[in-house]
Chains A and B, each alone.
Chain A
């Protein structure tokens, strides 16, 4: 009897591994092997083309500390992180709350409308935005004619930074709103009824019932939005190239320029690893903080 049970357990284990194997193989091929290769590449001075590969140990990592472009990418990633995380969170929350107020028939279509920017290519939206801010665009002609305002949208670091930030937030808020909307819709009728009986309405209901009830979804949105802030590439690449004077540059942009424009692939790999470490640390801190809030609200 015992022998049969052990055999059955073994068989279940094998089946479990078998079911997991596609994902494990996928992770091995597309994550683990490239990761190991990136570590190896980061210790080399190599352009991926030359037969000469020099082992430089940690030199590439040492070089990171004196590189003004890396410093700018590091600082800018936090400059992007704060507004993008907050605005995506608030934008998603506001959209979701508005959609929940709509009649059932309109909810689905409205949610999809807000979701469309997410589906639109970053290249397409960037090109449209670039055209919108050209010297002879309708907007600029209007501003010059009526307000005597001549704005160099992408030659001023602060303005260019906010144009990119708003573009990213506009693109992603609708997507995050779906997470929040689904969580709001999932709040049980019992809870809603209990709140109503206790006289909780409006902002009080939002603050004391809705937000605590959707904390896991809000955590997901905050984590995703912060990850997004570290991965910005298309918008600054097409609109500013990271300038003026590195004001809008990002890790992804600098990794691209280093690896594929200057052909310093080893150094580019070191930058990518440094970026990964920064993302890991920030996300751990964010998770820690959000766990605290989640525990506070009983999650």
Chain B
């Protein structure tokens, strides 16, 4: 008998332990979400409506600064007591999962019905995947969306976010990518910031001629770009190949609809421009680079998100580093470049009730309302040191002090009108991976065997990559 009691007790403890490992379908942050189907949606709706309060989940990017920024906004919104259909909206902010990646976290949340009503941190490529999967709302014809576009004067910016004639994303911030030059190296070489191909060749010649003097200040290589040989880092092609292609070839889209629109000639020209750097390319990791006492390279792709850190490290814009436009073919050409931009989307899922969806819209509309949008964007700029997507960034009084705070921001803001987004294609990853594997990596490996100014012929690599990209993305 005693044995039986003990065994029953142990079994009960084990079962209780196992039960404790489980959880409800509800999000741990307490949002009124449910996991399954229409029935659950109704259930979620009734739960969230209790006490005339609708709880809305909003996911911030997986970093503390953006989480704090959006938590602050949510607190202000919640205190304002804004109601939708007579029910108070309570926004709860949570960081989106970072591991293994934020995209995978969202994928998992959609699959398991724990996706929030809205989130930030979505780039145009992933928005294409989400739109293709019918996981986000088309907001093009919504009045509140048009109001946000008007308040932030981003009519031209949103054109780059169009997917199949529809809009799914509210652009939040943009990093206009450019080149970051080592001012001390330029002084030793006796040249200004290169802007055209002639300037670029002059820079390479000067580098060869002044190699010994450059070595004295620790400069050993021209262009720092470890990602050139990383075939897994397909996204880095936005920051090198796409950007250089567009500046050298007068803009253009990589893929338009289902058509590969980068030309063979343009791609060869772009690869050969990088190939000209030959064995002066630096493809090994350097930590830290621009904040080090001696910067061992002449230039790299800019990293606008590092401005604050560089200032704190005692680096002065204009004296230690300076941003320059992407290299164009000849003077007068527009230096198009890549705009590293992310925005906000509204998720469409059976676990998100109509009330929650409307609550999320109310929150984002409030943050970017005529009254609040400038303050929201200014706070974002101050918190994140990344430029918000606004047409009036250089003219609006609200941003004047921050923009003049560091001339780096002023120079960066100048490049915004010439930025172009990533390709809007659901198979963007496969296409850029195929290009990297078939052209970028093998070509750079060959180029690095050559002396500067002796770029190898890129035609065979480009031809192979065109076929590989068409196969990978089912492109025409």
Contacts and interface: CB of A to CB of B under 8 A. Distances in A.
B429 A261 contact: yes
Contacts of A262: 427, 429-430, 433
A47 B11 CA distance: 40
Interface stretch (B24-32, B82-90, B106-114): B106-114
A210 interface: no
A21 interface: yes
Contacts of B129: 47, 49, 263
B18 A49 contact: no
Given A18-B7, A19-B11, A50 B135 contact: yes
B286 A136 contact: yes
A49 B107 contact: yes
B132 A50 contact: yes
Interface stretch (B196-204, B227-235, B266-274, B370-378): B227-235
Interface in A238-290: 240-246, 256-257, 259-263
Given A134-B285, A243-B231, A244-B229, A48 B7 contact: no
Interface in B127-178: 129-130, 132-135
Contact of B231 (A15, A21, A133, A244): A244
Contact of A260 (B7, B8, B103, B287): B103
Contacts of A135: 282, 284-286, 296
A243 B229 contact: yes
A241 B101 contact: no
A136 B287 contact: yes
A70 to B, nearest CB: 14
A131 interface: yes
A21 B7 CA distance: 12
A241 B285 contact: no
B104 interface: yes
Contacts of B314: none
B441 interface: yes
A35 interface: no
The bracket for how many chain B residues form the interface is 35 or more
A240 B227 CA distance: 11
A155 B231 CA distance: 11
Interface string A103-147: 000000000000000000000000000110111100000000000
A25 B229 contact: no
Contact of A18 (B11, B111, B427, B429): B11
Interface residues of A, number: 36
B233 A241 contact: yes
B430 A48 contact: no
A152 interface: yes
A131 B110 contact: no
Nearest to A130: B285
Contacts of A186: none
A49 B229 CA distance: 32
Given A50-B134, A245-B441, A22 B229 contact: no
A82 B155 CA distance: 60
A65 interface: no
Interface in A191-250: 240-246
B107 A21 contact: no
B283 interface: yes
B286 A48 contact: no
Contacts of A26: 18
A260 B107 contact: yes
Nearest to A263: B129
Interface in B202-253: 229-233
A132 to B, nearest CB: 11
Interface string B432-466: 01000100010000000000000000000000000
B253 to A, nearest CB: 21
B292 interface: yes
B229 A260 contact: no
Contacts of A263: 107, 129, 429
A15 B427 CA distance: 55
A15 B6 CA distance: 11
Contacts of B15: 21-22
Nearest to B224: A135
A243 B230 contact: yes
Given A22-B18, A155-B284, A260-B103, A244 B441 contact: yes
A49 B130 contact: yes
B232 A21 contact: no
A50 B11 contact: no
A18 B8 CA distance: 8
Contacts of B10: 19
B100 A260 contact: yes
Contacts of A154: 284-285
B309 interface: no
A263 B457 CA distance: 35
11 contacts: A18-B7, A18-B8, A22-B15, A47-B129, A49-B129, A136-B292, A155-B229, A244-B229, A262-B427, A262-B429, A263-B107
Interface of B: 4, 7-8, 10-11, 14-15, 17-18, 100-101, 103-104, 107-108, 110-111, 129-130, 132-135, 229-233, 282-287, 292, 296, 427, 429-430, 433, 437, 441
9 interchain residue pairs of minimum CB distance: A241-B232, A260-B104, A50-B133, A135-B284, A49-B133, A48-B111, A22-B14, A49-B110, A134-B285
Interface of A: 15, 18-19, 21-22, 25-26, 47-51, 130-131, 133-136, 152-155, 240-246, 256-257, 259-263
Given A133-B285, A261-B101, 8 more contacts: A47-B107, A51-B133, A135-B284, A135-B285, A240-B232, A241-B231, A244-B229, A257-B232
